[in-house]
């Protein structure tokens, strides 16, 4: 049995699809299952059992020895959430409980960290674990993720294999339910589809021209390929970056979206809202050397190819992966 927490969510449901495609059908999906729009992500997938996240540990205590692997992708992921107690409970403490159960039942673990832990990138974007205690996340969500990373690397007792993945800007199918938190590509598609044009945030940093703010955009299909690789690798426990390794501009992204939609470019700029302006990241790029050093040699999908696949095969028909 393979457990996927957050399984009805964006990355979780894509991972279930990947596992099914590789012949793994004894999947235990863990989530709240109280959002009908989100639950559509799991329709048609081969699943052994669905467990409410509040019942997960009780369930695990009855079948722990039979679980082969846990992917812990469930979290409170709203970067605008400011209830620190809620984030600590959902993101930090819940993950500690999973860690301890993985030790008890000798289950390997892959869990979701986040590039939000890097803050403004004062220490760069290297997944060097010595830097983790120094990082300054920009919001309580990033703090809750970094708090767990800091805890994990100091533990004397660890699962026999574990990996934390610092997801950068993941985009791709199965994020219809995410609303404001969906990827810029999905927002661009919807805006272009509705108005024929796209508005981007103006740059308020003299080092960057309008629209040339840069992010590391990574296609969700690459993300689940890395998860699948680690499920078989099961050594070199550590925290790893998971981006494409190549920063691209928002202009690149939007131009690729116009092209994939076969529409004429019409891009304008609006001021970045004042309340987020001082916390706005102008550049992120994952150093991917560490993951490559343990044998992940697959090339990451280019932004243009990823956007084309996403737009043509999913967004334009509201299809699921």
Question: In sequence order, which ranges of 74-159 are alpha helices (DSSP H)?
Answer: 84-87, 94-105, 140-152
- What does the DSSP 8-state code read for residue 279? T
Residues 166/146, Cβ–Cβ less than 8 Å = no
Measured distance CA(138)–CA(120) in Å, rounded: 7
308: CB partners within 8 A, 6+ apart? 256, 259, 260
In angstroms, how far apart are the furthest CA atoms of the chain?
58
Both tokens assigned to 312? 């043509």
**Kind plus residue range of the DSSP H or E element containing 60:** helix 56-63
Active site residue 194: no
Q: Are 168 and 217 in contact (CB under 8 A)?
A: yes
pLDDT at 259: 98
As a whole number of angstroms, the distance between CA 270 and CA 252 comes to: 17
257 contacts 188 by C-beta, under 8 angstroms: yes
pLDDT of the residue at 13 = 98
State yes or no: is 141 an active-site residue: yes
What Rg, from alpha-carbon coordinates, does the chain have?
19
For the stretch 73-123, pLDDT in tens is: 998 877 777 888 888 888 899 999 999 999 999 999 999 999 999 999 999
Between residues 238 and 75, the one the model is more confident about: 238
d(CA 26, CA 3): 9
pLDDT of residue 278: 80
Catalytic residue among 178, 199, 259, 263: 178
Q: What are the pLDDT digits (tens) for 255-303?
A: 999 999 999 999 999 999 888 888 788 999 999 999 999 999 999 999 9
Confidence of residue 56 (pLDDT cuts 50, 70, 90): very high
Annotated binding residues: 10-11, 31-32, 38, 53, 73-77, 145, 169-170, 178, 180, 187, 201-204, 215, 280
Structure tokens at 107: 């289950």
Residues 207, 301: Cα–Cα separation, whole Å: 28
Element of type H or E holding 5: strand 2-5
pLDDT score recorded for residue 77: 76
> Of 22, 63, 170, whose CA–CA distance to 30 is shortest?
63
Q: In order of start, what are the domains of the chain with their CATH numbers?
A: 2-172+217-245+285-300 (3.40.50.720)
Phi/psi for 139 (5° steps) reads -150, 165
Backbone angles phi, psi at 16, to 5 degrees: -60, -40
Q: What is the number of residues in the chain? A: 321
- Where does residue 233 rank: exposed (0-12), middle (13-18), buried (19+ CB within 10 A)? middle
Q: Which residues are annotated as a binding site for NADP(+)?
A: 10-11, 31-32, 38, 53, 73-77, 145, 170, 178
At residue 195, φ and ψ (nearest 5 deg) are: -115, -15
| The two structure tokens encoding residue 232 | 């078989």
Q: What is the mean pLDDT of the chain?
A: 95
| pLDDT value at residue 195 | 97
> What per-residue confidence (pLDDT) applies to 281?
86
Strand 214-215 and strand 248-249: pairing?
A: antiparallel
Is the Cβ–Cβ distance between 225 and 156 less than 8 Å?
no
The answer to whether the beta carbons of residues 245 and 291 sit under 8 Å apart is no
Give the residue-averaged pLDDT of 126-134: 96
278, 320 in Cβ contact below 8 A? Answer: no
Task: Output the CA angle 298-304-310, nearest 5 degrees.
Answer: 85
Percent of the chain with pLDDT over 70: 100
Annotated binding site for substrate: 169, 180, 187, 201-204, 215, 280
pLDDT at 199 over 80: yes
Q: Is 243 exposed, middle or buried (0-12, 13-18, 19+ CB in 10 A)?
A: buried
How many Å from the N-terminal Cα to the C-terminal Cα in the chain? 22
* Block residue for tokens 């997801």: 167
Set 111, 141, 171, 314: catalytic member: 141
What was the pLDDT predicted at 78?
76
């Amino acid at each position: 049995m393979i457990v996927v927490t957050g399984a009805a969510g964006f990355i979780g449901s894509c991972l279930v699809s990947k596992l099914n495609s590789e012949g793994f059908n004894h999947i235990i999906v863990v989530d709240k299952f109280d959002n009908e729009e989100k639950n559509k992500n799991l329709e048609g997938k081969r699943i052994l059992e669905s467990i409410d996240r509040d019942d997960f540990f009780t369930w695990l205590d009855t079948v722990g020895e039979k679980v082969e692997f846990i992917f812990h992708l469930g979290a409170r992921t709203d970067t605008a959430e400011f209830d620190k107690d809620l984030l600590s409970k959902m993101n930090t403490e819940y993950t500690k409980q999973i860690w301890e159960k993985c030790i008890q039942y000798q289950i390997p673990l892959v869990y979701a960290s986040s590039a939000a832990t890097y803050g403004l990138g004062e220490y760069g974007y290297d997944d060097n674990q010595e830097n983790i205690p120094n990082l300054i996340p920009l919001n309580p969500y990033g703090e809750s993720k970094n708090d767990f990373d800091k805890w994990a690397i100091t533990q004397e007792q660890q699962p026999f294999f574990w990996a934390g993945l610092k997801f950068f800007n993941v985009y791709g199918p199965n994020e219809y339910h995410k609303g404001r938190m969906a990827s810029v590509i999905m927002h661009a598609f919807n805006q272009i589809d509705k108005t024929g044009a796209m508005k981007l945030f103006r740059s308020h940093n003299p080092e960057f021209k309008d629209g040339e703010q840069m992010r590391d955009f990574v296609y969700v299909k690459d993300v689940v390929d890395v998860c699948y690789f680690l499920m078989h690798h099961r050594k070199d426990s550590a925290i790893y970056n998971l981006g494409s390794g190549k920063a691209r501009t928002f202009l690149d992204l939007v131009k690729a979206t116009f092209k994939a939609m076969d529409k004429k470019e019409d891009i304008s700029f609006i001021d970045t809202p004042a309340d987020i302006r001082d916390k706005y990241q102008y550049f992120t790029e994952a150093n991917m050397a560490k993951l490559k050093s343990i044998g992940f040699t697959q090339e990451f999908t280019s932004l243009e190819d990823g956007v084309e696949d996403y737009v043509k095969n999913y967004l334009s028909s509201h299809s699921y992966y």
